Amino acid sequence: MLEKSYEGVVYYDDTDAGGVVYYANYLKYCERAKQEFFIEHGCDLFKLHYEGVYLVVKEVKANYKKSLRLGDKFEVYVGVKKLRKASVLLEFEITDGSEAVFTGEILSVSTDGNGNIVKLPECVSNLLT
Amino acid sequence: MLEKSYEGVVYYDDTDAGGVVYYANYLKYCERAKQEFFIEHGCDLFKLHYEGVYLVVKEVKANYKKSLRLGDKFEVYVGVKKLRKASVLLEFEITDGSEAVFTGEILSVSTDGNGNIVKLPECVSNLLT
Amino acid sequence: MLEKSYEGVVYYDDTDAGGVVYYANYLKYCERAKQEFFIEHGCDLFKLHYEGVYLVVKEVKANYKKSLRLGDKFEVYVGVKKLRKASVLLEFEITDGSEAVFTGEILSVSTDGNGNIVKLPECVSNLLT
Amino acid sequence: MLEKSYEGVVYYDDTDAGGVVYYANYLKYCERAKQEFFIEHGCDLFKLHYEGVYLVVKEVKANYKKSLRLGDKFEVYVGVKKLRKASVLLEFEITDGSEAVFTGEILSVSTDGNGNIVKLPECVSNLLT
């Protein structure tokens, strides 16, 4: 049910002194995959950004199962878990090509430039149909 | 019950094109506060790092309540929620000086250099006493 | 002639798999020191940002002399090397408390919100007097 | 003479409150391109890393010509400018697909795990032949 939306290599900039990807940087990978997932489904969040509509993160749950190390390849899978009027809950799984190294959920709400909650853009609310 | 362990200013490097702190960067603030919290309680995780003992993040839960913007001052509060033989669950609250902008929980497990789970260092397991 | 404008500790987020500060992150330290240097001299660049005036980086020169490692303390020293109508050249030295680990120069130009070059804000152009 | 070694999209994590790529993050793009450039030429720096040989950055010169903004596509071009016994000077150009937005030079030296300067690995010293 999840779709591969982003893949990459672990470069130095995402690692830390433990030799592995710094824990917060898995969320960068998820966020990049979120952009690509929406573009794939006809919804360019970058364009929405310039129109003053934002999908702002409200909640994150993350499970770290295994460490990605410098030079590892990885893939990020994304799926929609729940759609509401003004929010979307996405699921994420990052793999090293064979097994999950990270799973997570990110809840985003739709806001305007003043931070007010607004209805999801149509291209998002149509995601499950 | 939580203790102020870190404070800072939002510089450009932590912000994104939305004008606010990038969502993953709140976890940087938490991680820095975790280091200072442990130092304050007699447990230098940097020293443990060089001895081959690591407190590796296994789970994160985060709630984003309000955005920190460029130039804002913030404070990070930390507390111990649960201590087990090989893991510690920490609570975090980030405020802008008056109200909470972020709350979260981070579960870390103690590992050796090969990634094997080991007993918490004594300085950590003594935290609640 | 350089003034201490920023100091910090090397946390995990600034290190890489080499166990040292990732080379681009020294520029973060410089940028934070630049903000504090200007505030110290009566010029709040954050406030200018919200008024639509920016000191945009045009040139960087950097020399890496020694590596900062996880847990190291550091200090950032800043000075004005050259002031023009629309630009300011700053010098930086980062030390580990005893010797220089990094030296650099950053040339910034003053722009408005459309990216047009404008005269330096008075609080900057008065820096050398 | 320069070769296209890396390309990407500007995601939120590389931007700052100015709406553009944070100045230090162009160096991340260069570093990633450096890895890919060497792999393309038969020299896997990740593998060398695990064998205890590092190409450590000693000097950077950078010119910022135009800003990359959120959602922009970019390409990074790399070339060898000078090879010595223990160092390599690389040239970089980042374009937005049509024109240069950034040019730079990075001097790296070859070191072992103790930080001692050593001869360049053969796969690097053969680059110009």
Q: What is the pLDDT of residue B22?
A: 98
In chain A, which residues have their Cβ closer than 8 Å to the Cβ of D49?
70-71
Provide the number of CB pairs (under 8 Å) joining chain A to chain D.
Answer: 34
In chain A, which residues have their Cβ closer than 8 Å to the Cβ of B58?
63-64
Q: Are B13 and C31 in contact (CB < 8 Å)?
A: yes
Candidate from A11, A31, A47 with C-beta closest to D12: A31
Cα distances from C103 to residues B114, C60, C90, C100, in angstroms, run: 37, 11, 11, 7
Residue pLDDT, tens place only, A71-102: 999 999 999 999 999 999 999 999 999 999 99
Q: Say which residue the tokens 């050249």 belong to.
A: C89
Q: Are A61 and B60 in contact (CB < 8 Å)?
A: yes
Burial of B31 per CB tally in 10 Å (0-12, 13-18, 19+)? buried
Candidate from D24, D49, D64 with C-beta closest to C25: D24
Q: What is the pLDDT of residue C1?
A: 84
Q: What is the pLDDT of residue C128?
A: 76
Q: What is the pLDDT of residue A66?
A: 96
Residue pLDDT, tens place only, C73-108: 999 999 999 999 999 999 999 999 999 999 999 999
The DSSP annotation for D70-117 comes to TT-EEEEEEEEEEE-SSEEEEEEEEESSSSEEEEEEEEEEEE-TTS-B
Q: Is B59 on the interface with A (CB under 8 A)?
A: yes
Q: What is the pLDDT of residue B65?
A: 97
Q: What is the pLDDT of residue D1?
A: 84
In chain A, which residues have their Cβ closer than 8 Å to the Cβ of D44?
71
Candidate from C24, C58, C67 with C-beta closest to D24: C24
Residue pLDDT, tens place only, A29-79: 999 999 999 999 999 999 999 999 999 999 999 999 999 999 999 999 999
Closest of A15, A35, A45, A10 to residue A123, by C-alpha: A45
* Residues C11, B35 contacting (CB under 8 angstroms): yes
Q: Enumerate the domain spans of chain A.
A: 3-125
- Band of pLDDT at residue A1, cut at 50, 70 and 90: confident
> What's the token pair of residue B62?
């985060």
What mean pLDDT comes out for the span D79-98?
97
Min Cα separation C6/chain D (Å): 18
Residue pLDDT, tens place only, D89-110: 999 999 999 999 999 999 999 9
- Band of pLDDT at residue D73, cut at 50, 70 and 90: very high
Is the model more confident about B32 or about A126? Answer: B32
Helix (H) and strand (E) counts in chain D: 3, 5
Q: What is the pLDDT of residue A71?
A: 98
Residue pLDDT, tens place only, D1-35: 899 999 999 999 999 999 999 999 999 999 999 99
Q: What is the pLDDT of residue B33?
A: 98
Q: Which of D13, D16, D72, D112 is catalytic?
A: D16
Catalytic site includes residue D112: no
Min Cα separation B32/chain C (Å): 6
Q: Are A35 and D11 in contact (CB < 8 Å)?
A: yes
* Residues D105, D93 contacting (CB under 8 angstroms): no
Contacts of D among chains (3+ CB pairs under 8 A): A, B, C
Q: What is the pLDDT of residue B46?
A: 97
Helix, strand, coil tally for chain D in percent (to 5): 20, 45, 35
Closest of B125, B6, B1, B102 to residue B55, by C-alpha: B125
Min Cα separation A19/chain C (Å): 4
Tell me the C-alpha distance between C109 and C82, whole Å.
12
Q: What is the pLDDT of residue D90?
A: 98
Q: Are C16 and A18 in contact (CB < 8 Å)?
A: no
Candidate from D16, D24, D69 with C-beta closest to B15: D16
Q: Is C9 on the interface with D (CB under 8 A)?
A: no
Coil, strand, or helix at residue B50?
helix
**CA trace torsion B61, D22, D94, A16 (10° rounding):** -40
- Band of pLDDT at residue B115, cut at 50, 70 and 90: confident
Cα distances from C17 to residues A90, B59, B76, C115, C117, in angstroms, run: 30, 22, 27, 37, 40
Res. D128: pLDDT tops 80: no
Candidate from A24, A58, A115 with C-beta closest to B24: A24
For the question of whether the overall pTM of this predicted structure is more than 0.90, the answer is: yes
In chain B, which residues have their Cβ closer than 8 Å to the Cβ of D69?
17
Res. B100: pLDDT tops 80: yes
Which residues, given as ranges, of chain C have pLDDT below 70?
Answer: none
Res. B73: pLDDT tops 80: yes
Q: Are A27 and B23 in contact (CB < 8 Å)?
A: yes
Q: Is C63 on the interface with D (CB under 8 A)?
A: yes
pLDDT, chain C, mean: 96
Min Cα separation A84/chain B (Å): 18
- CATH architecture for residues D3-125: Roll (3.10)
What is the ipTM score, two decimals? Answer: 0.96
Q: What is the pLDDT of residue C19?
A: 95
